[in-house]
Amino acid sequence: MDYAQLFRLDGRVALVVGGASGIGAASAAGLAAHGAHVVCADVRLDGARATAEAVVRGGGSAEALQVDLTNPTSVTDLLQTIMSQRGRLDVVVSTPSINVRKPIVKYLDEEFDRVVGLNMKGSFRLLRGAGEIMAKQGRGSIIVLSSIRSQVVEPGQGIYAATKAAVVQMARALAAELGPQGVRVNAIAPGVVDTPLTQPIKNHAEWYQAYAAKSALGRWATAAEMAGPVVFLASDASSFVTGAVLFVDGGWTAIDGRFTPPL
C-alpha cells in the first residue's frame, strides 16, 4: 500500500461551488494541488475566474463556471456542462451560505426565505443533482459545509443554525441512500473562519476576541485550514468515511467555557 497516494486526486474532476472566495477558494487550491481538475463555480463569475487563474498560476488545472444555487435551472445547467465537457464528476464541495443575524421574533418572512433558500434548498439542489450523476458512475464524494451552529447556537443565529443542522441530515440521508452505489457523502462543520461571511464579526474587536477565546486553540481559523479536511474527504484516504460530520473548530464544541477552576 502506497499510503501517500491515498490523498492523490489525479485524473479526477472536482466541482467547488462557492469557489470565488473563502473556504471555497481554499478548497479549490487544495484539491488542485493534489491533482484534481477543479471547476470553480460561483454566482460571481469574476471571482470564480480569479480563483481558477490563481490555481493555474500555481501549476494546477482549473476552470470557472457560473452557478446560482437559488435557481434550479442554473444548477442543472452547471452539472450538464461539466458532464458534457469532462464526462465525469468525482468530487463536489458545496460552501455557499448566507446569514441574517436577528432574533427569531424579529425575522421577516422574506429574510427567512433568503437564508433557507440558499443554505438549505440550494444545497439540496446540488446534492440531488450530483448524487444522481455519481450514483450512475458508481463512485464519488460529496462534501457539504455545515457549521458548529448545527450543534451549538447563540442569540440571532436561529435560522442559520437550523439550515446548518438541516444540511447535516440531508448529507447523512444521502450517504445512506447512495452508499450501495459507491457514493460517499460527508459534512464539514467549521468553527469561526476568517472569510467574507464573518466580516461583520471582525469589525467588532470585542466580538472577534470573544470568539477567538472560545476555542481550545484560542484563535480563528484561516480558510486555508479547511483545505486539508476537504482533500481528505475527497480522496481515497477517507474511503470508508461516509455519513460523517467532521468538526474543524479548534476545539470549540469540545470545551465548556474558558475559565479553568482550581482543581
pLDDT tens digit sequence for 193-246: 988 778 888 888 888 898 899 899 999 999 999 999 999 999 999 999 999 999
Residue with cell 458508481: 138
CA-to-CA distance for 254 and 263, rounded, in angstroms? 19
pLDDT tens digit sequence for 184-206: 999 999 999 988 778 888 888 88
Q: Looking at 59-112, which runs of residues are DSSP E strands? A: 61-66, 91-94
Q: Where residue 256 falls among pLDDT bands split at 50, 70, 90?
A: confident
Q: What is the mean pLDDT of the chain?
A: 95
Residues of the chain above pLDDT 70, percent: 97
Assess whether pLDDT exceeds 60 at residue 263: no
Residue with more model confidence, 210 or 71: 71
The residues that are catalytic are: 160
Residues 6+ apart with CB under 8 A from 146: 164, 165, 167, 168, 171, 187, 188, 189, 245
User: Which cell numbers hold the place of 171?
Assistant: 448529507
Q: Mean of the pLDDT values across residues 31-37?
A: 98
pLDDT tens digit sequence for 145-191: 999 999 999 899 999 999 999 999 999 999 999 999 999 999 999 99
Per domain, the residue ranges of the chain are 3-193+224-247
Looking at CATH, the fold of the domain delimited by 3-193+224-247 is given as Rossmann fold (3.40.50)
The whole-model pTM stands at: 0.95
What is the model's pLDDT at position 171?
Answer: 98
